[in-house]
Structure 1
């Protein structure tokens, strides 16, 4: 099956429709992928980058066997189809067993292991967890300490299943029974404790036993979204959503993912991209997944030795965020043979066009930019593997993924579809779209009724569609700050700073960053008669915010917050200030002095920057520096000292003198 090359290919696939025998669950979908060749490699795992040549390996027959044993273990613990199994785990083979075995038995809930204890406890309670799978105590990891600290706050939890990293230590005898006895006093008495390896060893792996077979309309998973901090927002997806998304992405990408192909997984398995693109999609088509270290791309030496890993495993495909591609640019390919690589997928945050072009020119690897959201299972659009790739675009919508830009009124109600290249609210509809959030009040306003009478999901993103069917993002109506692919809710920073006795008004915005995409910055207006320094406020936040990524890179104390005519904080003014300052800082760092920076707001293209240089001497340096940002830009050279450049001047916000 050939991959998509143009929009006509997408339409042709849609005319054929979904197959009548589409799998009814993710478990069945993986079993069908395994049946292509049960002896083929399915999953490889290496614990450290230095030891990447010595990986554990599972064939497809062995993978399904261990997933089945895990599902049967959960059923023995009393898991029903509506029971929640939460996992707080790094990237391990057992994580995949828990995800897919958990979905076969009940509902899995993914929780970021990098969160602090309090945030983990909030999500466990919000999910209504009955079984929790996490790491046993192990030297060099703090996950057990964080989880153990909140167990007494989760009354719904009945069973604690521990994955023991010591099982993988060479020359070290297993001590599961002794470890569980030692932990008994540290765990509330009503919670039963189990060793994962021991528990599944007693289960049959040939077929599902006592567990009820999941159906297409059963809830399969819950993923945290809307930012990793703040009020828990958990999206519920059905088996049918995940199966449809994996199938649609598979026919879009064609033979590039299938038997004989190798996929590298370095993104964290609490994120839908890793779970769906380098998990279910690959397994459903009989491809080989290489899982690199428990920390993925963050693992020591993984990026440094990435090209060696590609050569050794003959990797054909990998998925990452813009910051990964930026880091890989600093690693010379050298003598490594990376000819097996067909392309890399980039999502989670906008990819700077200059970074994309530089990476492709230097490595010869094609990057396919895509777009998706947890609420849409994962992938909604991708640049075509075989057709024209338009840098800056998020590509064509997947087959079966209805997607359009629409005009809405001031209340958010649908008015009409946008015409070609007109910016509007992006909405999606299709079998991959989730059923809603666990908190009923969070579902208010997310659905939109269009002229066709169908139910469409308001993505919160602004975009346009060109005449050839390529979609382009032009902004985010929702105010999430995306730092290296991590979603940060500004409210988490703002609500925390509001608790400081000297703070009157707070606004958190994203500052453009060449490496992380965005960094959170907080603006603060103090109460009259009070004093506080930026350092004091920063120290206050360090004790109050559970997510390290959400800690602001800077705190700006200002005399007066910019407000709209009705008294609302005017965040665009602050965002523009940070954007101008980030550009100036990047130019100075590149050796470009004396530049004038202006921002322009284009209704069809979003924010763009114009930089005027005093001479042609540093034009190349300026272009290179600006190209690392995700917004459009232009560069000119001043004709004379009196010359003036059209465009909106940067908005200055008065800073309190200190």
Structure 2
């Protein structure tokens, strides 16, 4: 694809908002001409040819042999997978559900499905009923999954339950792997045709799409489930142009750096993993090292991570804050990890103290990004060498507008000035096309701006600081939980008068769901018995509250609305008191909500010499903490 050379600064030079604005003087189509994922990936595969595209480490054991797939092989398999799906009747407007761990075949399935139709990655940790609801919303007729794993049949058993409930599924495409999975199983129900992927994929054309499809930027590329676990699922439509823009931008921003191995340890059903350790890495020609089917969820991968840094000379790693807090405690031993230059953190707020301690211990830079499914993983990110104020998640992306505003319903009433908090609003080529269910779009747009539901402010230089969340989702280790899934079952309990579920700060998961409960007059509630009730009546395991606290009344605003900031302060107080009690440290704790810092705590120690001990104990909590 030929295009006139863009003018102005290079992408690697965007260290200020002024330079970004100069960068944008070249038209977007001139800088980034690719408008679909399939052609972009094939172009990259042709460019890098026989170089390593994927490398698979099966178990996460240190030093184990790996399986290498070249870029050329990757291109062929994606095309063959697309043609296989086309032979099953998949057309450009048809969704293909993909429920798989991280394997080379997962890449073939996801990007092959985008080439044939629309990919719909599923989180296998959701309950079967909810997965079936997602399939119902997307109207998918094909499910790609694996045969039962020899060591663990959970994924296959989940797939069986899903297909029994998702009656529109007509075909299951089954991946088998010698040594990892069993043979092709029988169909879960009548009317489902089982397709042995490994047995037939080589029979399909590997050089072009049999469909003859011609892509357009506004073609749907992916249906991504994005939180909300009650009622009809909330499914976002990402277009081909969204993926193509973000991939080309990331590649352009790193064009001044040599190619390097990129570890894939984040799940590919999540937008962050799908983009950062997927199409963006392809675009720049980086080999992707798949660290076992379960990535960071595999204890072997965590325990042996520094040996893999040494073995593959990782320069950059994409991770979430909860993983960083775990890796921080893993001894390096005698491994040479000098290749590691930076960590890109996303999916949840990055605590300042964790960033500083990680940088100090491992002599690398930790960059905090910000984005979500609806912005194709990225909304805010800064260059490697950009001096970013502590606590900020960076500058905006070029061509992607961002403002902070006050809103009333779907109307923008004020654009905030520097250092004034408000709702984060955005629009641009990274922003999705909308939710499949039209009612989900009612509050998503404010005068043609996408409402992120997050609260923050911009400083005088355009750096973004997050201070809170207007939307109610509880984010547990990157897993979105709708509070209603907790509140509705509890309200059905005969002794419960009122309930509010929130996310309690947690050093490992970011947030854990808890519930504040008010008993009906004259009723006595046993908290442990109510937790047992939740175990039976809340179907999603991740949503079951970690604790329940009884209150005489729920705090309300002057107009009678639930005042969640006070509940979040109470939850933070509980966590800090628990930590200090465990360490037998005396202190006074004050928690409040600061307009610019968000949830904030001040710990006043009885003994100032214990400051370092306390700092170490609270370093991974995801809110601002001052120790005095």
TM-score, L = length of structure 1? 0.90
CA RMSD of aligned residues (A): 1.9
1:494 to 483, 487, 509: 487
Alpha-carbon contact 1:230-1:491 (below 8 Å) kept: no
Structure 2 gap segments, 5+ residues each: 1-9
**Aligned-pair CA distance for 1:347:** 0.8
2:138 to 127, 130, 133: 127
Q: What's the counterpart of residue 416 of structure 1?
A: 414
**Aligned-pair CA distance for 1:262:** 1.0
**Aligned-pair CA distance for 1:612:** 1.8
Q: What's the counterpart of residue 334 of structure 2?
A: 335
Aligned counterparts, 1:20-39, within 5 A: 20=30, 22-39=33-50
Is 1:614 the counterpart of 2:573? The answer is no
Alpha-carbon contact 1:269-1:275 (below 8 Å) kept: yes
Q: SS in structure 1 opposite 2:135?
A: helix
Q: SS in structure 1 opposite 2:28?
A: coil
Alpha-carbon contact 2:515-2:548 (below 8 Å) kept: yes
Alpha-carbon contact 1:228-1:486 (below 8 Å) kept: no
Alpha-carbon contact 2:60-2:298 (below 8 Å) kept: yes
CA distance in 1, matches of 2:203, 2:131: 30
Q: What's the counterpart of residue 16 of structure 1?
A: 26
CA distance in 2, matches of 1:230, 1:355: 37
Q: What's the counterpart of residue 247 of structure 1?
A: 248
Residue 51 to residue 581, structure 1, CA distance change in 2 (3 Å): closer
CA distance in 1, matches of 2:63, 2:548: 42
For residues 508-544 of structure 1, the C-alpha deviation after alignment (integer angstroms, 9 at most, x for no partner) is 0111122222111111122234444222221222223
Q: SS in structure 2 opposite 1:371?
A: coil
1:68 to 76, 79, 84: 79
Is 1:522 the counterpart of 2:521? The answer is no
Q: What's the counterpart of residue 651 of structure 1?
A: none
Alpha-carbon contact 1:262-1:315 (below 8 Å) kept: yes
For residues 340-397 of structure 1, the C-alpha deviation after alignment (integer angstroms, 9 at most, x for no partner) is 2221110111111111110000001111100001111111111320121322111011
CA distance in 1, matches of 2:289, 2:485: 35
Q: What's the counterpart of residue 217 of structure 1?
A: 218
Residue 546 to residue 22, structure 1, CA distance change in 2 (3 Å): farther
Q: SS in structure 2 opposite 1:584?
A: helix
CA distance in 2, matches of 1:75, 1:51: 40
Q: SS in structure 1 opposite 2:449?
A: strand
1:564 to 548, 557, 565: 557
Q: What's the counterpart of residue 111 of structure 2?
A: 100
CA distance in 2, matches of 1:16, 1:359: 38
Residue 421 to residue 568, structure 1, CA distance change in 2 (3 Å): closer
Q: Which moved more, 1:618-627 or 1:376-385?
A: 618-627
1:157 to 169, 173, 177: 169
Alpha-carbon contact 1:348-1:485 (below 8 Å) kept: yes
CA distance in 2, matches of 1:297, 1:198: 31
CA distance in 1, matches of 2:444, 2:504: 27
CA distance in 2, matches of 1:12, 1:36: 30
Alpha-carbon contact 1:3-1:255 (below 8 Å) kept: no
CA distance in 2, matches of 1:12, 1:589: 54
TM-score, L = length of structure 2? 0.94
For residues 529-571 of structure 1, the C-alpha deviation after alignment (integer angstroms, 9 at most, x for no partner) is 4444222221222223233221111011233222334433332
CA distance in 1, matches of 2:66, 2:89: 34
Alpha-carbon contact 2:124-2:158 (below 8 Å) kept: no
CA distance in 2, matches of 1:19, 1:337: 43
Q: SS in structure 2 opposite 1:555?
A: strand
Aligned counterparts, 1:240-639, within 5 A: 240-256=241-257, 260-409=259-408, 411-449=409-447, 455-593=448-586, 595-636=587-628
Structure 1 gap segments, 5+ residues each: 450-454, 637-658
CA distance in 1, matches of 2:268, 2:429: 23
How many corresponding residue pairs?
616
